[in-house]
Amino acid sequence: MFISSPLADFESRRIPASLASISPVLEHVIDRPRKKRTAEKVISILGVPSDAVVSFVRFLYSSRCSAEHLEKHGIHLLALSHVYMVPQLKAMCTKDLAQRLTIESVVDVLQLARLCNAPDLYLKCMKFVADHFKFVEKTEGWKFIQDHDPWLELDILQFIDETESRKQRNRRIRKERKLYLELHEAMECLEHICSEGCTIVGPSNVDPKKEREPCSHYSTCHGLQLLIKHFATCKKRTNSVGCGRCKRMWQLLKLHSSICDHSECCKVPLCRKFKQRSSTSPDENNKRKDDAQWKMLVRKVVSAKAISSLSLTNKKLSDLEEDRMIGHRGIGSFRLQSVRRYRS
């Protein structure tokens, strides 16, 4: 329909002035005074294939662009939409190009995204290059950048370095978070063992129950029980050299004392003594208490405890909500009987 229109002149790669109102740039060009009053106002679009111009004019007519045209002329349409300030077409092109990135085309699309001020497409290209750099660096596009655009090459390498550093930092944070959660779980198991008892270790005033089922944190709890049994019988516990397993037990007891809020009635051994020692012997113990790493460890474990409690609360709330919804489903089993009205 558009090709047969007398207004369209695709062979000369020109578009009619009547369509310029869609583009502020074209509108500005049309509003300029003519050199000759009788001259026909024609805007020529050069530098791109004529088929791309046809697709561009089709969009100016209908505000639509088929997937076939985007796939075939997406790069040229992005350039035209940027130059002539057609934001709808630009958004369509950036979205389509981002979905069609390949090893061979990503460098070209990256350069165009930078020139056309398309930050979303630029970022996706950067991430694509970072994820497939071993293959991208073998392409002709990358060699062209190395020879003609060293600043872009530097930006890409810096982005890759920052991305890798961010990944390493996130892995380290996840690893530390897992450690703090495990320490928090160990603190809960320690209180559980010393107050209630578990499978093989328990307080002296509680009768052992061989038939007792394992607790929810059995893996951590069982390892801690074995450590407590070793701590109670190890002969190197009080030696200056000491035992590695006993040292870990001392650290766990001290950590518990640092985060315990009820040391007066706490049943964990040495909890109150650690509190008293830190308050009565400041000259000797402040070195440990003021140790930045130890303070940070205590804070992280307390934070892990808060996060775990919040997660448990959210889980309970979701379970209650689910139970309530299940209870309401029973209404569906009732059938409303029709009421017959009798005439008097």
Six-digit token string for 71 = 């796939």
Do 79 and 194 share a domain, yes or no? no
In a domain? residue 158: no
Number of domains in the chain: 2
Model-level pTM?
A: 0.61
Cα–Cα distance for residue pair 204/197, rounded to 1 Å: 9
- What whole-number distance in Å separates Cα of residue 69 and Cα of residue 88? 15
Least confident of 123-127, 142-146, 187-191, 286-290: 286-290
Selected residue with higher pLDDT from 109 and 282: 109
Enumerate residues 6+ apart whose C-beta is below 8 A from 186.
220, 224, 252
Give the rounded percent of residues in the chain with a pLDDT score beyond 90.
30
For residue 162 the two structure tokens come to 């920052």
Stated as kind and residue range, the H or E segment containing 133 is helix 133-136
pLDDT tens track for 63-91? 888 889 999 999 999 999 999 999 999 99
Lowest mean pLDDT among 61-75, 151-165, 177-191, 210-224: 210-224
Report the chain's C-alpha Rg in angstroms.
Answer: 36
Same domain, yes or no, for 81 and 199?
A: no
Q: What DSSP string runs through 145-183?
A: HHHH-HHHHHHHHHHHHHHHHHHHHHHHHHHHHHHHHHH
Amino acid occupying residue 115:
L
Residue 216, domain member (yes or no): yes
Question: Measured between alpha carbons, how far is 106 from 158 in angstroms, rounded to an integer?
Answer: 17
Closest to 270 in 3D by CA, of 221, 232, 217: 232
Q: What is the mean pLDDT of residues 112-117?
A: 94
Choose between 167 and 335: higher pLDDT.
167
Q: What is the mean pLDDT of residues 186-215?
A: 74
In a domain, 300, yes or no: yes
Amino acid 129: pLDDT: 95
Using the predicted structure, report yes or no on whether residue 40 has a pLDDT greater than 80: no
266 in Cβ contact with 260 (< 8 Å): yes
Averaged pLDDT, 58-65: 86
Question: Quick check: is 155 in a domain?
Answer: no
Indicate the average pLDDT of the chain.
77
With b for 16 or more beta-carbon neighbours within 10 A and e for fewer, the 99-114 pattern comes to: eebebebbbbbbbbbb
Residues 159 and 124: beta-carbon distance below 8 Å:
no
Considering the domain architecture, whether residues 91 and 188 belong to the same structural domain is answered as: no
Q: What is the CATH number of the domain that holds 16?
A: 3.30.710.10
Residues 202, 309 within the same domain: yes
268-326 residue pLDDT tens: 888 888 877 766 555 555 555 556 777 788 888 888 777 766 665 555 555 555 555 44
User: CATH number of the domain that 257 lies in?
Assistant: 1.20.1020.10
Q: Is residue 36 part of a domain?
A: yes
Query: Among the three residues 100, 133, 152, which one is the final residue of a domain in this structure?
Result: 100
End-of-domain residue from the set 59, 85, 100: 100
* Chosen domain end from 57, 77, 100: 100
In angstroms, the CA 156 to CA 160 distance is 6
Please give the helix or strand (H or E) that residue 44 lies within, else none.
Answer: strand 43-44
Instruction: Give the pLDDT confidence of 169-199 residue by residue, as tens digits.
Output: 999 988 888 888 888 888 888 888 888 777 7
Question: Is 74 in a helix, a strand, or coil?
Answer: helix
Segment 10-39, tens digit of pLDDT: 444 455 555 666 788 877 777 777 666 655
Which pLDDT value is given to residue 239? Answer: 56
262 band by pLDDT with thresholds 50, 70 and 90: confident
Q: pLDDT-derived band of residue 223, with 50, 70 and 90 as boundaries? A: confident
Lowest mean pLDDT among 17-21, 115-119, 213-217, 291-295: 17-21
Range of the domain at 32: 1-100
- Could you tell me if 211 and 304 lie in one domain? yes
Q: What single string gives the DSSP state of each residue in 213-242?
A: PP-TTHHHHHHHHHHHHHHHH-TTTTSSS-
191-219: average pLDDT? 72
